[in-house]
């Protein structure tokens, strides 16, 4: 074996040694100074002014707030965004608000126009609405036939079809219904599967579909509202059958491994789940949402979807909700299960997309007789085996709290965490994904919410239920109980949507005020000359990226507008929103 190289002691080497000794001295001195003054330094760095004020008291609105005036400000923001789109991007899909150019991520049919129709009508923007109708009249929904292009079925249904149907429901303009029916006909080849679950994508000119059979839950189970309402207003039974077939496939699936909750990935050929991963965020969120909403939309007649919703929420409340170790933030996470023989494990990721969940739970608690469900479920088979779901029902029954109270407690805690995800950031806007701190030490770690609720019960229910109660925002990363995992802010609506429902259900004006503070942050941090841009990081000022997604106009600004309006434009018992914020009126099916 050769010996290692031994360097000579040249002048250069000795100079490097002296430099090294000086460096070591400076490091030691730095450590000593940090020990003496580090706490003060950290405090100074972390006491950057909170964008919502310090000390934090702004979530309690003044008694003389003119909420309608605030709604008008949101209308002005919508006009700024839409006029910028009209000037620089129409009839393309979306505006690039920094370069003032256009791009076509969703078929090139003008998705911003179709997604904005009902928002314009609700805001009384008659001129903009009439201009949009001329685009709708000329729409052919054609795609190039020489290229390997496909319209994403899910996005096309929730944005285009949903936008047309909601605008028709609000305005009565027949051209909107005609075009909705035409589009649905062009999408028909997507259902060329034995399961009735649609293909991921379709070329509307050729009828060709994508070849993949492994598809996300949200992409195959977020059509029931649109197709059932389309059947109602056209009188065509085949649209109702599309919805009913999806519901039946989901209801008949073997989901014992996931406690009765629908897994994230599905085989559209067999109609069976692939694996046992569970998500309340990406790839799954809207499918869980549609279980409750289709039951409500069809005047409580869809009992299978109701049962699926109860299974899902039972699993969420007992298996997917955690309380963070120090700050006691309530959050919903996803679980992974590598194989049937291994237990599932939580990722402890909390997605912005998951912030729809508190609103959904509150809507269910408000709309369903959760503590007297016999009448809603009487026609379902009594011997249906839910697998692990039975354990969840048992756990909930041991809490000495009604099911409605459990759902509302969870909704309150989750909505608070969604709010803090905004209020904790220097920009006042929430990140795409937070990774929650799950372990500090052996005695301080995240706990399943259902276990924390049991301990709270045994302690005599002192204080607020776990994960709820007043919490102050903090800019101190070490105190937040999470790491910002994906820092971008995409102008998403989920948090505002939940605030809107929480306000309608509870009457607590703090949800309105929190929405107002977020709106101010949107104006301050994302507005451009031509519209509004997403942020690359919620921690960095002016980190704008050249995108303005259509859902910003369809949902984010719509929910802010509805949150601030004093009159109840869309009562929760008469209208149901699709996952893109498009409202459909409640009806009794007759097909």
Q: Which residues belong to the active site?
A: 155, 285, 432, 494
Tokens, residue 80: 């700024």
Q: State yes or no: 579 annotated in a binding site.
A: yes
Nearest CA among 591, 581, 589, 590 for reference residue 300: 589
Residues 269 and 211: their CA atoms lie apart, in Å, by: 11
DSSP state of 437: -
Residue where the block lists tokens 């949150």: 563
Q: Are 344 and 276 in contact (CB under 8 A)?
A: yes
The vertex-129 CA angle with 123 and 132, nearest 5°, equals 140
Cα 533-526-565 angle, rounded to 5 deg: 105
Of 304, 344, 318, which is closest to residue 451 (Cα–Cα)? 318
Q: Give the C-alpha separation, 469 to 467, whole Å.
A: 7
Which residues have CB under 8 Å from 407's CB, separation 6+? Answer: 313, 317, 361, 362, 364, 365, 370
Rounded Cα distance, 30 and 33, in Å? 5
Residue pair 51/426 in contact by the 8 Å Cβ criterion: yes
**Residue 211 in 3-state DSSP?**
coil
Q: Which two tokens stand for residue 481?
A: 């109980």
Tokens of 327: 């700050």
Q: E strands of 463-543, at which residues? A: 482-486, 534-535
What residues are designated binding site for Ca(2+)? 579
What residues are designated binding site? 579
């Amino acid at each position: 074996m050769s010996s290692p190289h031994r360097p000579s002691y040249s002048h250069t080497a000795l100079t490097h040694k002296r430099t090294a000794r000086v460096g070591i001295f400076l490091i030691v001195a730095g450590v000593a100074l940090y020990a003496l003054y580090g706490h003060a330094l950290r405090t100074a760095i972390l006491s950057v002014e909170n964008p919502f004020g310090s000390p934090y008291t702004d979530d309690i609105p003044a008694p003389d707030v003119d909420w309608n005036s605030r709604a008008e400000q949101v209308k002005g923001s919508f006009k700024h965004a839409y006029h910028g789109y009209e000037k620089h991007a129409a009839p393309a899909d979306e505006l690039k608000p920094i370069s003032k150019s256009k791009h076509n991520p969703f078929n090139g049919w003008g998705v911003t126009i179709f997604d904005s129709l009902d928002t314009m009508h609700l805001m009384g923007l008659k001129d903009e609405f009439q201009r949009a109708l001329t685009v709708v009249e000329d729409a052919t929904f054609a795609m190039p036939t020489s290229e390997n292009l496909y319209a994403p079925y899910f996005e096309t249904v929730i944005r285009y079809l949903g936008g047309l149907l909601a605008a028709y429901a609000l305005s009565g303009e027949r051209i909107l219904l005609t075009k909705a029916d035409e589009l649905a006909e062009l999408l028909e080849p997507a259902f060329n599967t034995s399961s009735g679950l649609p293909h991921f994508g379709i070329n509307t000119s050729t009828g060709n579909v994508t070849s993949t059979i492994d598809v996300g839950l949200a992409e195959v189970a977020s059509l029931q509202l649109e197709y059932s309402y389309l059947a109602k207003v056209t009188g065509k039974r085949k649209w109702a059958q599309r919805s009913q077939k999806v519901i039946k496939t989901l209801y008949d699936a073997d989901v014992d491994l996931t406690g009765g909750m629908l897994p994230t990935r599905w085989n559209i050929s067999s109609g069976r789940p692939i694996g046992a991963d569970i998500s309340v965020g990406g790839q799954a969120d809207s499918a869980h949402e549609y279980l409750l909403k289709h039951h409500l939309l069809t005047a409580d007649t869809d009992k299978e979807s109701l049962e699926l919703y109860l299974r899902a929420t039972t699993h969420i409340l007992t298996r997917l909700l955690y309380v963070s170790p120090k700050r006691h933030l309530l959050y919903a996470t996803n679980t992974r299960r590598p194989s049937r023989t291994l237990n599932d494990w939580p990722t402890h990721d909390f997605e912005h997309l998951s912030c729809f969940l508190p609103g959904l739970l509150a809507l269910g608690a408000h709309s369903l007789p959760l503590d007297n469900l016999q009448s809603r479920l009487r026609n379902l088979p009594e011997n249906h085996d839910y697998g692990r779901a039975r354990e969840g029902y048992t756990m909930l029954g041991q809490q000495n709290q009604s099911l409605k109270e459990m759902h509302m407690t969870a909704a309150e805690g989750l909505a608070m965490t969604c709010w803090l995800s905004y209020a904790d950031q220097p920009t006042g806007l929430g990140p795409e994904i937070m990774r929650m701190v799950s372990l500090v030490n052996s005695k301080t770690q995240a706990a399943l919410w259902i276990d924390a609720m049991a301990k709270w019960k045994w302690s005599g229910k002192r204080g607020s239920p776990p994960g709820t109660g007043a919490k102050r925002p903090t800019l101190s990363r070490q105190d937040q109980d999470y790491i910002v995992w994906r820092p971008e802010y995409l102008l998403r609506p989920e948090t505002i949507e939940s605030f809107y429902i929480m306000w309608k259900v509870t009457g607590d004006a703090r949800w309105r005020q929190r929405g107002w503070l977020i709106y101010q942050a949107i104006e301050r941090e994302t507005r451009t000359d031509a519209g509004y841009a997403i942020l690359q990081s919620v921690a960095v000022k002016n980190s704008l990226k050249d995108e303005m997604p259509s859902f910003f106009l369809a949902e984010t600004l719509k929910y802010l507008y509805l949150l601030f309006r004093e009159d109840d434009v869309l009562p929760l018992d008469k209208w149901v929103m699709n996952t893109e914020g498009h409202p459909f009126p409640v009806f009794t099916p007759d097909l």
